[in-house]
Chain A
Amino acid sequence: MDQLERQIIKDVVAGRTERFDWIVRNYSQRVFALIARIVPCREDVEELAQDTFIKAFDRLADFRGDSSVATWIYRIAYTTAISHTRRRHMPAVTIDETLAADVADADVDSLLDSPADADREAALSRAIERLAPDERALITLHYFSNLPLAEVAQVTGLTLSNVKVKLMRTRRKLYTLITHED
């Protein structure tokens, strides 16, 4: 946590509420992008993003600074959005586990990690949209927000090994969805 963030948190906790505006402006874009990846409805995203910052404001006095402010706010946004999807029972595409289990890691790597090409990118975008909300959140945090796996674990509340396993399964699922698209 940098000096400015520390000072802002101290000011807000001391009663200078208007200083919280800096936190909202600084993180709203990233919080919005994460929630929008998990929740499809634009109005819900707006509402949940607002709730995230209200919760952050309410809990600011308890923030110990063990993690960065970004990780802490991401965690609040993630839990807020995931709880919303659980309440709404949002459907997700399930695939045959045996299909995904038979996929070789080298094939997954060559499809997902090869230099960008337009056709594959379009197929990949469609496949990402069909993932479960928590899987979409996982790849958003790692590949869009560029969080290291240890921080992804902090945000999602999973263990590091669990994050690695889930990420590997999600990558295999993406591969299966693309190759069995038709």
Chain B
Amino acid sequence: MKTNLQNAIHNLSSGPRFQPAPGFSAAVMKRIARRARRRRIANRVAIGLVAAAILGLAGYIIARALASITMPAFSMSVTVPVAVIAAACTAMMLGYDSIINRTLSRHNDKSRKQKFGNIGNFD
């Protein structure tokens, strides 16, 4: 048997004010999907930056070594552009990959939307 206190708190906590609205979990999942996508992009950008830095450094070392063997007089004018180009190429490739993925996923969402109507967690 319930006591006064249990009953009072139970009655107070079971009114409509204490029930989530019908679209509550859909709204939460929409925010979570958006957050997860942002997190994936941020991870990709971070990986891209690290990879670009590593490859840039490697390019710099290789170019410097080659320059010291072949053209000692132009070593700095060769090494710096090579390193910059290597880093930029890596960043562009990773960025391009990310853009393609995003475009594809948007396209898939759009065609699903056209096919099934406005259901699911679309942004």
B window 18-74: CB within 8 A of A: 18-21, 24-25, 27-29, 31-33, 35-36
Given A42-B17, A125-B12, A143-B9: A24 and B1 interface contact (C-beta under 8 Å):
no
The CA of A18 and the CA of B25, in the complex, are separated in Å by 11
A window 10-58: CB within 8 A of B: 15, 17-18, 20-21, 24-25, 28-29, 32-33, 36-37, 42, 45-46, 49-50, 53-54, 57-58
A153 to chain B, nearest CB (A): 19
B20 to chain A, nearest CB (A): 5
Which 5 residue pairs of A and B lie closest in terms of their CB atoms, listed nearest first?
A: A124-B8, A116-B7, A112-B5, A17-B36, A24-B25
Interface residues of A (CB under 8 A from B): 15, 17-18, 20-21, 24-25, 28-29, 32-33, 36-37, 42, 45-46, 49-50, 53-54, 57-58, 111-117, 120-121, 124-125, 128-129, 139-140, 143-144, 171, 174
A-B contact count (CB 8 A): 105
A138 to chain B, nearest CB (A): 11
Q: Describe B's contact surface by its main secondary structure.
A: helix
Excluding A28-B20, A114-B3, A116-B3, 9 further A-B contacts by CB distance (< 8 Å) are A18-B121, A46-B21, A50-B24, A57-B35, A58-B35, A112-B5, A113-B3, A121-B7, A143-B5
